Amino acid sequence: MVQHSTGPLAGLLVADFSRILAGPYATMLLADLGAQVIKVESPGGDDTRTWMPPTRDGVSTYYLGINRNKRSIALDLKNPDDLTAAQELARRADVLIENFRPGGLARFGLDYDTVTAGNEKVVYASISGFGTGAGADFPGYDLMVQAISGLMSLTGAPDGPPYRAGISVFDVMAGLHASIGILAALHHRTTTGRGQHVEVNLLSSALSGLVNHSSGYVAGGTVPFRMGNAHPSLFPYEPLPTADGELIVIAGNDGQFRKLCQVLDLPGLPDDPRFGRNQDRTANREQLRPLLVERLAKRTKDEWFRDLLAAGVPCAPINTIDGGVALAQELGLDPVVAVGDVPGVRNPITFSDTPARYELPPPGLDEHGEEIRAWLKS
């Protein structure tokens, strides 16, 4: 099996034993950058093949969104011939990534210790929900982690129920962390000749990804609470009403607040001791908000968006997904790429010399099985 791709990771073979979201997202990013990814699926296929609607030509768009640039082989690890193929793939791989429950691959001889006995250069990446200790038996679903980590306690109206984020945010974070760990381990391998075990779990990714909130508790002893769309440490940093709808308005520093006041024709506010510094604006937000809202009510959100942005004040309309894609296109970011006849979202990383590739559409189940089996026997 010959790889013709280019990219910064060209020449690397990734054995992808992961499924659902975190692992497949990580391996798609690696595949976009040139790695040859072989997606190992059970005979029933990756669960996301059945997660629908929405669909495109009868195929789950959830699956399509995280599996381009891969080849698929269906292997039943309880079948001796299929298990032999899986073990041979692991022996040849530069990277193996899996998200079985901790220890789940040991009975197949595909655990870290067994694989590295025959392939000491492999970078073996494991993604779990809650690590390999006391949480090893916990199922690793993003919604569980959103609840357990505290994210849901921060999401929603102050007097309403907690909410999940609109995406599986910690699966995505864990996939990104896994990619970073794999790349770091590959660099280490270039200097030592040895691979290593890279472990990522959703809860640790969540606590890292909660950044200022988790730091506020760990370093400051403060347990944060739901504030709707407000920010605990900045004001304004939230939607504010205009004549025809809400507009996100941000003053990330004192200079931006001064510019905001100039556009709103409120020149005295920056010199008011209640509002001159960020910490003062945050402490006195209930006095400042009505002053801003009164001025914003005089014009439409589009008019304010144009003028505030021109003055260097961060602001944004609240779009649906189609609006976000349209604006990215308008800004020249070319957010949509064609992979065969399947549209996809462009890899967000731009390289000056080794651009991302979009060569293979998301594979059908076992689409490349015959080719891969022949190669593994060669």
Catalytic (active-site) positions: 171
Locate tokens 């959830």: which residue?
A: 62
Q: Which of 208, 224, 217 is nearest to 162 (CA)?
A: 224
State the Cα angle at 69 between 65 and 74, rounded to 5°: 90
Burial class (CB in 10 A: 0-12, 13-18, 19+), 149: buried
Measuring CA to CA, how many Å separate 231 from each of 96, 148, 217, 242, 351? Answer: 40, 22, 16, 20, 34
First to last CA, the chain: 10
Q: In this structure, what token pair is assigned to residue 259?
A: 């510019």
Burial class (CB in 10 A: 0-12, 13-18, 19+), 142: buried
Beta strands per DSSP E along the chain: 13-17, 36-41, 55-56, 59-60, 70-74, 95-98, 123-128, 197-201, 237-242, 245-250, 315-317, 336-339, 342-345
- What is the spatial distance between Cα 326 and Cα 54, in angstroms, rounded to a whole number? 20
Residues ≥6 apart with Cβ < 8 Å to 167 = none
| Residue 142 · residue 171 · CB < 8 Å | yes
Measuring CA to CA, how many Å separate 304 from each of 20, 46, 291? Answer: 42, 47, 16
- What is the spatial distance between Cα 127 and Cα 269, in angstroms, rounded to a whole number? 51
- What is the spatial distance between Cα 331 and Cα 325, in angstroms, rounded to a whole number? 10
Q: In this structure, what token pair is assigned to residue 220?
A: 């400051």
Q: In this structure, what token pair is assigned to residue 292?
A: 């801003």
Measuring CA to CA, how many Å separate 58 from each of 52, 55, 67, 98, 217? Answer: 9, 5, 16, 27, 46
| Residue 26 · residue 178 · CB < 8 Å | yes
